[in-house]
């Protein structure tokens, strides 16, 4: 029995094993603090809780009775719930049947409502059928009445139009014809009806008859032959113009053409090619004549033609076309007589006349065959754009290098520009040749003025002054560019650009490069005079203060020319036609000025570098193995510092306005002096320990002077540029490391070689051998140390080996300099 109960309990526990999620949900729905309701209920622990001690067993009967009472109540609850669930299925089926019955009743009601709605709709359609028929009838009747009225108006209008045409009542015809044409538009869909088609043909015939009649009236009033005109405008012709506005546009064009031709017939006679007044020197008379004619037209015929015909402007435009053709023909016939002043005079008067037309007229009559009216650009919303400068302001801005400032969009171009002056474009080669000649004379004058003025005086307050000729040149360029752009924006501008390029190069070579001071030595070697001076003990020839200021002035001028040439290129591209902008390129000329700048900087570097050569030579001649104690800096260092303090402040003050080029000068001098100093350092041999210490002190002194080089002699001390400081620190640190290796004892060999590799990052056998020579070691001692160095050096890649072999084959600059010095010594001995 006990075994059966145990099996039942195990089966019950297996069935009642719930998942943690279900257990958690049950605890949330039925919260309970009873230990019997816990999922992890332990009967042993629960009994121990009820009877913790033996004494507590005394009330065991009471506890058992309570538990039996709880079990009985729980059984009663379970029984009640089970009995309550027996009738749930039957109740659910009954509720479902009731819901289905309700749905069937609702469906029946909806169907009844739909049937009643269909009956109502059919009833409404029957009621409104007659009303719709009445509406259609009313609409058709209204359309018929309106059409009959229009037909009556059209028939009556056509009869009246034919009658008025015969009586030349153009005033009434103008109003009537427009109304007839408007009414006729309503009958386009009835044009297939014979009566309507007949009326349409009668209207077209009346229009044709009106056109021919009006043309005949104008021919009679303004005959093609002769120049006699009626004294005043005719009211008949004025009304005829109103009719022509309504007729075919060709009638209006024919009237305008004949009137303008007759109006300008006198002009063709007065200014024939064989007449004296037809030549360019009397071109003012042409424009004066047309101005009088325009005034005469306004007085006599201003009210005869409608305002929207713009007859005054049309007369002026046709005059321009005729004048351009006549001038082109006469200039082709007398091309050899055209001079620059005469051509410019004619162009100036012509452009003035075109400007007069632009002020007087809008240009709306210009046709596609001539010129188009240019639309004005949209107004700018940028408040920082300035007004368009005048030519004088632009010239001043070019002198100051301020042409790149933001500008307001240009005003609308003259729509009449070139309408007459276009005929001068084939002859602008005369102007271009004249500018070529004038610029050549200007360059020659600049050369003569420079020779007459001599070298510039030092000006340490404001830096080197620009050569005055550079501003004059670009001001002249500006005038030529503006003048030529007024004449043409096509090929002549390209030809003028070529002239500009030519004389920019000439200015760079003749005025700038040609006036740079010449050094006494060339890059190929020394002259005999320089060798004699050195033999006599005099210092190497240096530039004077005036020559240094001249070099700086030329450098500043070249910089100004470089910047202004770039602005000139931009201005030329603005002035020339868009299709020709790619042909304007002043890069070559800007490169030329850059070359002048580089040459000037190189001259300054060479001069200061050459001034330091005697001091470095004196360093080589010192007996460094006999130096017994370390003192202050050596005399040669004092000499180098003296030369630097003499030259650099002058250059610094002269290049105050071009700081970047002074920085370039400092960098190039450091790149030139430091390698030369290291080369001379290797020639100081043998060197004792104390001598190496003295040299190290001297090297440090030179390093500090070079670091302060950009601010020497300057009242405002600025921090040297990082790029320059990096070069000086790297180069002079290498010199210091070389001396530290020389100071180190060469025993033991391994330590000495490792110290060399550690101190010099660019270590190689050639530099190592030079250091051994400075220490005064014998060749036998050097061979073992060199072999040890080769063993401890990292193996270079194959490419590096090839480059090192090439470097051994080709002579280095140091070897070349040693050969040159041997040649110098040989020449001195023979002298």
Mean pLDDT per 10-residue interval, the chain, length 831 residues: 61 65 79 76 81 81 86 86 75 85 91 90 82 83 79 72 71 69 72 75 74 74 57 66 74 81 84 81 87 84 80 87 88 84 86 86 66 39 36 43 40 71 83 86 88 66 67 86 80 88 90 81 39 39 82 90 91 88 90 92 90 89 85 87 88 84 90 91 87 89 89 77 90 88 80 82 81 82 82 60 37 48 52 42
Burial class (CB within 10 angstroms; exposed 0-12, middle 13-18, buried 19+) of 155: middle
Query: How far apart are alpha carbons 418 and 351 in whole angstroms?
Result: 8
Are residues 555 and 651 in contact, defined by beta-carbon separation less than 8 angstroms? no
Backbone phi, then psi, for 522, in 5-degree steps?
A: -105, 175
Question: Cα dist. 649→335, 364, 458, 511, 666 in Å?
Answer: 61, 67, 12, 26, 12
The tokens of 153 are what?
């108006």
Are residues 728 and 722 in contact, defined by beta-carbon separation less than 8 angstroms? no
pLDDT given at position 174: 67
Q: Please report the beta strands in 21-129, taking only residues with DSSP state E, as ranges in sequence order.
A: none
With b for 16 or more beta-carbon neighbours within 10 A and e for fewer, the 565-602 pattern comes to bbbbbebbbebbeeebeeebebeebbebbeebbebbbb
- CA angle centred on 487, ends 483 and 492, rounded to 5°: 95
Query: How far apart are alpha carbons 164 and 148 in whole angstroms?
Result: 24
Q: Which residues contact 105 (CB under 8 A, 6 or more apart)?
A: none
Longest dimension (CA), the chain: 159
pLDDT given at position 406: 38
Query: How far apart are alpha carbons 324 and 333 in whole angstroms?
Result: 14
Burial class (CB within 10 angstroms; exposed 0-12, middle 13-18, buried 19+) of 48: exposed
pTM for this entry: 0.61
Query: How far apart are alpha carbons 215 and 468 in whole angstroms?
Result: 70
The tokens of 308 are what?
């929207």
pLDDT given at position 528: 34
Burial class (CB within 10 angstroms; exposed 0-12, middle 13-18, buried 19+) of 670: buried
Collapsing DSSP to helix, strand or coil, 516 comes out as coil
pLDDT given at position 214: 75
Query: How far apart are alpha carbons 798 and 808 in whole angstroms?
Result: 15
The tokens of 630 are what?
């370390």
* C-alpha dihedral sign at 415, 420, 426, 427: negative
CA atoms within 13 A on the CB side of 587: 4
pLDDT given at position 383: 31
Question: Cα dist. 254→215, 218, 524, 528 in Å?
Answer: 8, 10, 84, 93
User: Which among 600, 620, 401 is positioned nearest to 517, based on CA atoms?
Assistant: 600
- Rg, C-alpha atoms of the chain: 55
pLDDT given at position 4: 64
Are residues 597 and 569 in contact, defined by beta-carbon separation less than 8 angstroms? no
pLDDT given at position 831: 42
Neighbour tally for 222: CB within 10 Å: 19
pLDDT given at position 373: 39
Q: Please report the beta strands in 386-470, taking only residues with DSSP state E, as ranges in sequence order.
A: none
Residue 30 DSSP label: S
Distance of CA 230 to the CA centre of its chain: 63
């Amino acid at each position: 029995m006990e075994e059966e109960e145990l099996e039942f309990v195990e089966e019950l526990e297996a069935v009642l094993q719930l998942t943690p999620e279900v257990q958690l949900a049950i605890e949330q729905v039925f919260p309970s603090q009873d230990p019997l309701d816990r999922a992890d209920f332990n009967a042993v622990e629960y009994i121990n809780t009820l009877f913790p001690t033996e004494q507590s067993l005394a009330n065991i009967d009471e506890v058992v009775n309570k538990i039996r009472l709880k079990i009985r109540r729980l059984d009663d609850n379970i029984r009640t719930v089970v009995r309550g669930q027996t009738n749930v299925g039957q109740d659910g089926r009954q509720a479902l049947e009731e819901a289905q019955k309700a749905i069937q009743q609702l469906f029946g009601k909806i169907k009844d409502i739909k049937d009643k709605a269909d009956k109502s709709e059919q009833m409404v359609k029957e009621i409104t059928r007659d009303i719709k028929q009445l509406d259609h009838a009313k609409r058709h009747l209204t359309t018929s009445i309106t059409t009959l009225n229009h037909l009556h108006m059209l028939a009556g209008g056509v009869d009246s139009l034919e009658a008025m045409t015969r009586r030349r009542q153009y005033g009434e015809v103008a109003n009537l014809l427009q109304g007839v044409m408007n009414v006729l538009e309503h009958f386009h869909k009835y044009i297939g009806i014979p009566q309507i088609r007949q009326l349409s043909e009668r209207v077209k015939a009346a229009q044709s008859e009106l056109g021919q009649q009006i043309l005949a009236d104008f021919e009679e009033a303004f005959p093609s032959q002769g120049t006699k005109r009626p004294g005043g405008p005719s009211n008949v012709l004025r009304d005829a113009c109103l009719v022509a506005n309504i007729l075919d546009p060709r009638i209006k064009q024919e009237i305008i053409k004949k009137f303008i031709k007759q109006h300008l017939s006198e002009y063709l006679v007065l200014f024939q090619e064989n007449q004296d007044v037809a030549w360019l020197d009397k071109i003012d008379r042409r424009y004066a004549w047309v101005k009088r004619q325009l005034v005469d037209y306004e007085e006599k015929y201003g009210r005869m033609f409608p305002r929207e015909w713009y007859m005054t402007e049309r007369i002026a435009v046709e005059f321009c076309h005729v004048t351009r053709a006549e001038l082109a023909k006469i200039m082709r016939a007398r091309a050899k007589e055209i001079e620059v002043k005469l051509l410019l005079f004619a162009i100036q008067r012509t452009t003035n006349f075109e400007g007069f037309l632009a002020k007087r007229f809008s240009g709306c009559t210009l046709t596609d065959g001539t010129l188009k009216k240019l639309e004005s650009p949209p107004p700018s919303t940028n408040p920082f754009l300035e007004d368009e400068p005048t030519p004088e302001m632009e010239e001043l801005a070019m002198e100051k290098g301020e042409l790149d400032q933001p500008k307001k969009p240009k005003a609308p171009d003259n729509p009449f520009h070139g309408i007459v002056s276009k005929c001068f474009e084939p002859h602008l080669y005369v102007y271009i040749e004249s500018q070529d000649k004038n610029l050549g004379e200007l360059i020659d004058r600049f050369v003569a003025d420079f020779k007459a003025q001599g070298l510039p005086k030092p000006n340490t307050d404001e830096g080197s002054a620009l050569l005055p000729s550079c501003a004059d040149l670009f001001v002249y360029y500006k005038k030529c560019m503006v003048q030529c752009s007024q004449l043409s924006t096509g090929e002549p501008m390209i030809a003028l650009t070529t002239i500009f390029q030519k004389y920019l190069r000439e200015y760079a070579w003749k005025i700038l490069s040609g006036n740079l001071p010449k050094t006494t030595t060339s890059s190929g070697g020394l002259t005999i005079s320089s060798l004699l001076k050195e033999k006599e003990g005099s210092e190497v020839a240096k530039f004077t203060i005036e020559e240094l200021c001249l070099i700086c002035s030329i450098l500043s001028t070249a910089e100004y020319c470089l910047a202004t040439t770039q602005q000139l290129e931009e201005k030329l591209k603005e002035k020339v036609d868009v299709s020709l902008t790619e042909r304007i390129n002043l890069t070559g000329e800007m490169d030329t000025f850059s070359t002048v700048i580089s040459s000037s900087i190189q001259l300054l570097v060479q001069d200061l570098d050459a001034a330091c050569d005697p001091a470095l030579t004196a360093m080589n001649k010192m007996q460094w193995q006999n130096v017994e104690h370390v003192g202050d800096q050596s005399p040669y260092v004092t000499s180098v510092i003296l030369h630097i303090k003499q030259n650099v402040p002058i250059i610094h003050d002269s290049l105050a306005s071009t700081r970047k080029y002074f920085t370039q000068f400092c960098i190039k001098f450091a790149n030139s002096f430091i390698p030369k100093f290291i080369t001379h350092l290797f020639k100081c041999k043998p060197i004792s320990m104390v001598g190496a210490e003295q040299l190290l002190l001297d090297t440090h002194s030179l390093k500090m002077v070079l670091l302060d080089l950009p601010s020497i002699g300057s009242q405002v001390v600025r921090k040297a540029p990082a790029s320059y400081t990096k070069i000086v620190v790297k180069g002079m640190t290498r010199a210091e490391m070389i001396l530290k290796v020389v100071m180190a004892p060469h025993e033991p060999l391994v330590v000495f070689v490792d110290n060399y590799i550690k101190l010099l990052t660019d270590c190689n056998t050639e530099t190592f051998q030079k250091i051994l020579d400075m220490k005064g070691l014998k060749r036998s001692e050097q061979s073992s140390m060199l072999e040890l160095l080769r063993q401890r050096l990292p193996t270079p890649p194959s490419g590096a080996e090839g480059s090192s072999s090439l470097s051994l084959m080709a002579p280095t600059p140091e070897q070349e300099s040693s050969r040159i010095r041997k040649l110098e010594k040989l020449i001195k001995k023979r002298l």
